[in-house]
Structure 1
Amino acid sequence: MTNHAQVQNGVLGTKVIAQIGILVNDIESVSQAYADFFGVEKPQWSWTDPMDVAQTEFEGAPSEARSKLAFFDMGSLQLELIEPDQHPSTWRNYLNEHGEGPHHIAFVIEGMKEKVALMEARNMPLVQKGEYTGGRYAYMDTFKDLKILIELLENDKK
């Protein structure tokens, strides 16, 4: 039985998609293609933090996986380009299995532990998680029901 508040606000407490993540093999050329297409400046890419800072875990184990990231702010939505390194991660595995293209949709949430537990109770397991400057992320395997990964983003309170 679900309580009324959960039905009203959904599992995440939001329905605003904050970001779409796209996996690429060459972040330089794809960033340039998007910049040309939208008539905007090409963003500089940056590496995700190393393991000691990011505390990356993939399928429950610590992982050295890193990615190059480039961001396009598209009004209410952010487009994230992701070029993973060779270490095992949801990024690398998905790129190997499916090729370039959409990887996740992301939502900014509050209460990461609680949301992860709620989703795991719905048979949507945690695949990968880590820290970034100013917050943390978690990728949830929602393929069975939603046909895409969902990323949870929780920013530290200022």
Structure 2
Amino acid sequence: MSGLLGNHFITQIGILVNDIEKTSKAYSEFFGVPQPEAFLTDTLDKAQTEYNGEPSVARAKLAFFDMGSLQLELIEPDEHPSTWRNYLNEHGEGPHHIAFVIEGMKEKIELLDRKGFSLQQKGEYEGGRYAYIDTFKDLKVLVELLENDKK
């Protein structure tokens, strides 16, 4: 497969919100699906979050809707500097990223950086890792890379 990511299937759309409970309820009612439980991302010691190359204590409340072949992620960031907080402050509520499942996170980040798309934030989650790449200038949205550990 060609392309920079080796995969062109969008797996997730991330949306920034100010009130995750209110917005989650609205999505639940709109689509007639159960409202997911919102949860807080891990602390720095577990998540190993880095924002603009520096360790970050930033956390966010997340809620996930499985919409068939696509997952909808609602994100309510805390007040600490992060891609989520800064994007919400600059652009307001709405789409933040489209995500793709990839293999070879380190290599993909280096490849994208050479193409002019810099790493904005990265971290770990149970079962894998993520990286937000600054593709906004060209794609008008950020790209998130998701790499899940092999089972």
Match of 2:74 in 1: 81
Q: Structure 1, unaligned stretches of length 5 or more?
A: 1-7
1:120 and 2:117 matched: no
List alignment gaps of at least 5 residues for structure 2.
Answer: none
Pair 1:40 & 2:33 matched: yes
Q: Distance in 2 between matches of 1:147 and 1:26?
A: 24
**Matched residue, 2:123:** 130
Larger Rg belongs to: 1
CA distance in 1, matches of 2:4, 2:134: 14
Would you say 1:140 and 2:122 are equivalent positions? no
Match of 1:152 among 130, 145, 149: 145
Q: Which amino acid is 2:10 matched to?
A: I
- List per-residue Cα deviations over 1:121-142 (Å, max 9, x = no partner): 0000000000000000000000
Deviation at 1:15, TM superposition (A): 0.4
Over 6 Å off, 4+ runs: none
Give TM-score scaled by structure 1 length.
0.95
Shift of 1:145: 1.4
Q: Tell me what 2:84 maps to.
A: 91
Q: For the residues of structure 1 that align with 2:11 and 2:111, how far apart are their CA atoms?
A: 20
Residue 101 of structure 1 corresponds to 94
Moved more, 126-135 or 137-146: 137-146
Q: Pick one of 56, 63, 76 that aligns with 1:70.
A: 63
| Length, aligned pairs only | 151
Which whole-Å CA distance do the structure 2 matches of 1:98 and 1:74 have between them? 25
The amino acid of 1:10's aligned partner reads G
Q: Distance in 1 between matches of 2:134 and 2:89?
A: 17
Percent identical among aligned pairs is 73
Q: Distance in 2 between matches of 1:55 and 1:116?
A: 17
For normalisation by structure 2, the TM-score amounts to 0.99
